[in-house]
Structure 1
Amino acid sequence: MPSFTVPPALEPGDTLAVLAPSRPPAEPWFSVALDRLRETFGLDPVVYPTAERVGAEEPVPPAERATEIERAFADPEVRGVMAVTGGDDQIRVLRHLDADVLRENPTRFYGFSDNDNLRLYLWNLGIVSYAAQLMPTLALDPDLHPYTERYLRRALFEDGLGVVDPAEEWTDGWYEFDGEPREWRPTDGHGWWLGPDADAERAVEGRVWGGCYSIVSWHLETSRYLPDPDDFDGAVLALETSETLPDAADVGYTLRSMGERGLLERFDGVLVGRPKSFNPRVDRDRDFEEYRSDIRDAVTTQLAEYAPDAVAVFDVDFGHTDPHVPLPLGGLATLDARENQLRVD
């Protein structure tokens, strides 16, 4: 496993580069998010050319996006880099990146969903990165949710997130700025699972690898950007299923394939995000409770087979439901089954 660097924390007044390494931004949410960076967090967002293409249908070519990422990381005035939103093609950017430029200029990167492609690339370089971006982290709802603000503030200005408590309420509603407020539902906390060979008296500690299920699947399929299998020894696998609402069976099949490849057994812990179950743009109808149960069953079935001493935590508030925690890839996660406490530093 590489030795990890937590890039220096930002301070109010610092420059934050705003990039579109995936899809370009759109209005009105882009202006809302920029205003919140300035007014809520006191940062100075500098919009780079890829993010100036507001409303564009397609991103710029992958090589241009890679060059802009390198330029932002190498700029000594830039203390952090934040993606505007996700997309579906960022894996094409990675082969154009100069790893030495990023390695020699470790900078806090914020993004998730399609941006987990870049975050997994940074993991291989030993650079910790954070699951937050302008949309949806900063742009949804009339006000920034206090839970999201609390943990994003830590990801921006501190060296670790500390104890990650479950949110008291959540939503996967589709927010429209000129529509009705989203419906929020109470949570029932984190769900803990101990493998049949797990020691309930020990705390599992490891570096977080993973992210959006779709992106992790791409990396498993291509193999081009996977770490050495030995680098997974003692790590913590993170998975969240995003707005594509994949079948729970497919999640299980992917984990089974990891098991047959000799990868799943290497992880000491697993974090599973609260699954998003609603997306009006996807032709699937998911009942949340049933979907959540099916995903949990699919994950635990494969863990029991291939990683029977693992500890898993379900319904962690990272990913595509709101509010959410900017879970750092490469961060050191502690899954304490004794206290039912999750900590990420």
Structure 2
Amino acid sequence: MPSVFTTPPPLEDGSQIAIVAPSRPIDESHLDRACARLRDTFSLEPVVFESARKDWEWLRENPRARAEDVMEAFEDPSIRGIIAVTGGDDQLRVLPHLDPTRLTASPTRFFGYSDNDNLRLYLWKHGIVSYGATLHPTLTVDPEIHPYIERYLNRAFFERSLGVVEPAPEWTDEWFDFDTGEPRDWRDNPGRTWHGEARVTGRLWGGNFSIVKWHLQTDRFLPPADELDGTILALETSEDVPYPREVRYTLRTMGERGLLERFDGLVMGRPRTHSPGLEWEPPADYGEQLRDEVLSVLAEYNPEATAVFDVEFGHADPNVPLPLGAKATLDPTVGRIRIE
């Protein structure tokens, strides 16, 4: 891994936070709603960059301009944080236009997940810790910000580390209806599932399963294999809800490439089991099937790894802005995750 990782300094009350769109745009109403919550709940001052006001056609045709907005936000000394408006499916096209010297000269807290894990893996390769949250849906859904999300966003914005990541009391993967504004149905949290007995500490690498798969396929922005030694793989499956066997196939290829054995641990986000427009109907035990497939690959390629499943990060709610590049400690003896 990079010899030195930098955790950008925390924000303060009244700090300016750049709003950029390195992936897709969002509706103006959603943008306004999220900016108001940044001001009212977190006492931050959003600065909306040009890309965040553009439509998808313009963004699709201008990956270089999207990259430029990100770099300008990093370079602006008045900006203390940067948050992506939402995810998407083509941020991989933005990465070739980034200049790492412009990003590393003034490390700034970057927030994004889903498609933005492309940029976060790029930052990881250059030794910069980044956090998993976006304007939408993190700061737009529900009548009020879920208190669990608010607690860990406060830590991600204003503290040096997230500390102990406690299980949430409830969870949901329902879509929020902005037309009615009605609260979503929440289910009791059944808890996390642990595998292995060893207490392990390592830097987090990974993110959205689809994005990790793209980077394995393109092999343009992966770190050298030995830089993954002793790290902890973080994976979440997003609203794509892939077939469990597809996750097994990808992890198996990582095993065959000699990558999977390099991780000391694995953190799997609680999977979504519902998403409009899916071409298949995930079974009620989708999460259990996914876990079994992952464990089958670990048993073959990395049987000593410590793993924990159904962690609060990714596309199910509520979630933690899990920081890639930060040190995580997985302690199965007490069932605790700590992020430093």
In structure 1, C-alpha distance between the alignment counterparts of 2:280 and 2:65, rounded to whole Å? 35
1:33 aligns with 2:29: no
Residue 109 of structure 1 is matched in structure 2 by 110
1:235 aligns with 2:231: yes
Residue 153 of structure 1 is matched in structure 2 by 154
8 Å contact from structure 1 (residues 23, 58) kept in 2: no
Please report how far the alpha carbon of residue 169 of structure 1 lies from its aligned counterpart in structure 2 after TM superposition: 0.4
Residue 321 of structure 2 is matched in structure 1 by 326
**What do residues 125-176 of structure 1 show as CA deviations (whole Å, max 9, x unaligned)?**
1000000010111111000000000001000000100000111100000111
Please report how far the alpha carbon of residue 25 of structure 1 lies from its aligned counterpart in structure 2 after TM superposition: 1.5
Please report how far the alpha carbon of residue 103 of structure 1 lies from its aligned counterpart in structure 2 after TM superposition: 1.1
In structure 1, C-alpha distance between the alignment counterparts of 2:172 and 2:63, rounded to whole Å? 33
1:266 aligns with 2:267: no
In structure 2, C-alpha distance between the alignment counterparts of 1:241 and 1:147, rounded to whole Å? 21
Please report how far the alpha carbon of residue 58 of structure 1 lies from its aligned counterpart in structure 2 after TM superposition: 5.1
Residue 59 of structure 1 is matched in structure 2 by 59
- Report the 3-state secondary structure (helix = DSSP H, G, I; strand = E; otherwise coil) of the residue aligned with 1:81: strand
Please report how far the alpha carbon of residue 28 of structure 1 lies from its aligned counterpart in structure 2 after TM superposition: 2.8
1:245 aligns with 2:241: yes
- Report the 3-state secondary structure (helix = DSSP H, G, I; strand = E; otherwise coil) of the residue aligned with 2:136: helix
In structure 2, C-alpha distance between the alignment counterparts of 1:29 and 1:324, rounded to whole Å? 19
Residue 279 of structure 1 is matched in structure 2 by 275
In structure 1, C-alpha distance between the alignment counterparts of 2:159 and 2:9, rounded to whole Å? 9
Amino acid across the alignment from 1:302: V
Instruction: Give the superposed CA RMSD.
Output: 1.0
Residue 101 of structure 2 is matched in structure 1 by 100
User: Where in structure 2 are the equivalents of 1:41-80 lying within 5 Å?
Assistant: 41-53=42-54, 56-57=56-57, 59-60=59-60, 61-80=62-81
1:299 aligns with 2:294: yes
- Report the 3-state secondary structure (helix = DSSP H, G, I; strand = E; otherwise coil) of the residue aligned with 1:329: coil
1:177 aligns with 2:192: no
**What do residues 162-217 of structure 1 show as CA deviations (whole Å, max 9, x unaligned)?**
000111100000111123421100011111011xxxxx2x4100000000000000
**What do residues 248-300 of structure 1 show as CA deviations (whole Å, max 9, x unaligned)?**
0000000000000000000000000000011112222113x411011101110
In structure 1, C-alpha distance between the alignment counterparts of 2:57 and 2:37, rounded to whole Å? 25
Amino acid across the alignment from 1:100: T
Amino acid across the alignment from 1:283: E
Residue 332 of structure 2 is matched in structure 1 by 337
In structure 1, C-alpha distance between the alignment counterparts of 2:56 and 2:333, rounded to whole Å? 50
Please report how far the alpha carbon of residue 27 of structure 1 lies from its aligned counterpart in structure 2 after TM superposition: 3.9
In structure 2, C-alpha distance between the alignment counterparts of 1:336 and 1:300, rounded to whole Å? 18
Please report how far the alpha carbon of residue 29 of structure 1 lies from its aligned counterpart in structure 2 after TM superposition: 2.0
Amino acid across the alignment from 2:95: L
Judge which range, 28-37 or 91-100, deviates more. 28-37
- Report the 3-state secondary structure (helix = DSSP H, G, I; strand = E; otherwise coil) of the residue aligned with 2:145: coil
Amino acid across the alignment from 1:230: D
- Report the 3-state secondary structure (helix = DSSP H, G, I; strand = E; otherwise coil) of the residue aligned with 2:200: strand
1:214 aligns with 2:215: no
In structure 2, C-alpha distance between the alignment counterparts of 1:27 and 1:306, rounded to whole Å? 47
- Report the 3-state secondary structure (helix = DSSP H, G, I; strand = E; otherwise coil) of the residue aligned with 1:141: coil
- Report the 3-state secondary structure (helix = DSSP H, G, I; strand = E; otherwise coil) of the residue aligned with 1:138: coil
In structure 1, C-alpha distance between the alignment counterparts of 2:59 and 2:205, rounded to whole Å? 27
8 Å contact from structure 1 (residues 276, 321) kept in 2: yes
In structure 1, C-alpha distance between the alignment counterparts of 2:305 and 2:186, rounded to whole Å? 32
Aligned residue pairs, count: 337
Please report how far the alpha carbon of residue 56 of structure 1 lies from its aligned counterpart in structure 2 after TM superposition: 4.3
For structure 1, the 5+ residue unaligned runs are 195-199
8 Å contact from structure 1 (residues 272, 314) kept in 2: yes
Residue 313 of structure 1 is matched in structure 2 by 308
User: Please, what TM-score do these two structures have when normalized by structure 1?
Assistant: 0.96
Match of 2:253 among 239, 254, 257: 257
Residue 120 of structure 1 is matched in structure 2 by 121
In structure 2, C-alpha distance between the alignment counterparts of 1:20 and 1:176, rounded to whole Å? 23
Amino acid across the alignment from 1:187: N
Judge which range, 81-90 or 19-28, deviates more. 19-28
In structure 1, C-alpha distance between the alignment counterparts of 2:87 and 2:118, rounded to whole Å? 10
Amino acid across the alignment from 1:259: G
Give me the identity figure in percent: 56
8 Å contact from structure 1 (residues 29, 140) kept in 2: no
8 Å contact from structure 1 (residues 15, 44) kept in 2: yes
